Amino acid sequence: MPIYNYGSINIDHVYRVPHLVLPGETLSSHHYRQVLGGKGANQSIALARAGSEVFHIGRYNVADQALVQPLIEAGVAAEHLETVNEPSGHAIIQVDDQAENSIILYAGANHSFTVTDLANSLQAAKAGDWLLLQNECSCTQAMIELAAARGLKIAFNPAPMNAAVKDLPLDKLSFLFVTQVEVCQLLNLPTEPLPTLEDLVALLQARWPDTLVVITLGSKGAASVYQGQLEFVPAVPVQAVDTTGAGGTFTGYFLHAWMQGQSLRAALERAGKASALCVQRVGASSSIPTAAEVDAFKQ
């Protein structure tokens, strides 16, 4: 089943630092690397490495052709990759010695899409195909509405979260991928203390009765809530060196497993293993494991 991923493509400038820089501080980094990133591109690579047929709808600057090579090499279909004159999206990423990160984004070409562009990009999509989106590109609301009107199933990861997300037509989603904090923001719940997963089940059932909600819990694991049923899978314990890209890895591997007919528990377990491999490597797209690596991973 094809999946269209309307997703960001970023140049990630990754700096290893002893600690995340403080206000007013000038800090020397001890390592620098430039890699392909963007939550959208990371998700597409994870989907393709997991085994899905993925069409990435994305844009980058005409001078950055080499940027998208990892997408092509992973097997992502290039029909909807376009070059534009705007600068490519980019991210300034600090990763400290405890694997904490902080990210500054510049949207650039990711925000160059118009509603007409997006309607054109879905022309070959058929009812029952999937659309995946995150929140780093322009015209997200229009894309959800266009896809819903064509009968596509829609999966959305509202990261990075902002105030506009609450006004999106979230009732049209089949899947929603969120962190525990993001789900609180969407449901207007306090985050101190965070509600338990059990508390969230009834609230999610009432708010989005037909949407499968996947809640990622970082080093604790991940859960799914669907039609009042909670499934929780603990994380595989590993020593993380860089968590950048772990969310995209999880989303791609989860979606692929689910589309292959695996149970929710099996899909959560598969995605958890893939993310555990990802966080043990540095970088975003460069740290996403292949299906063979996930198969071989022993806990």
How far is residue 290's CA from residue 288's CA, in Å, rounded to a whole number?
A: 7
Smallest distance from ligand RIB to CB 151, Å: 29
Closest to ligand RIB by CB, 8 vs 180, is 8
Smallest distance from ligand RIB to CB 110, Å: 9
3-state secondary structure at position 203: helix
Backbone angles phi, psi at 71, to 5 degrees: -65, -45
How far is residue 288's CA from residue 280's CA, in Å, rounded to a whole number?
A: 10
Nearest residue to ligand RIB on Cβ basis: 37
Strand partners, 54: 3
Closest to ligand RIB by CB, 103 vs 203, is 103
Closest to ligand RIB by CB, 60 vs 226, is 60
Smallest distance from ligand RIB to CB 16, Å: 15
How far is residue 6's CA from residue 56's CA, in Å, rounded to a whole number?
A: 6
Smallest distance from ligand RIB to CB 243, Å: 9
**Integer CA distances (angstroms), 224 to 189, 221, 234, 269, in order:** 18, 11, 12, 11
Binding site for ligand RIB (CB under 6 A): 8, 10, 12, 37-39, 42, 91, 103, 105, 136, 244-245, 247-248, 284
Smallest distance from ligand RIB to CB 108, Å: 11
Q: Which two tokens stand for residue 85?
A: 């004159």
Describe the strand order of the beta sheet including 130-133 as a list of residue ranges: 81-84, 54-61, 3-6, 130-133, 153-156, 175-179, 212-216, 221-226, 229-234
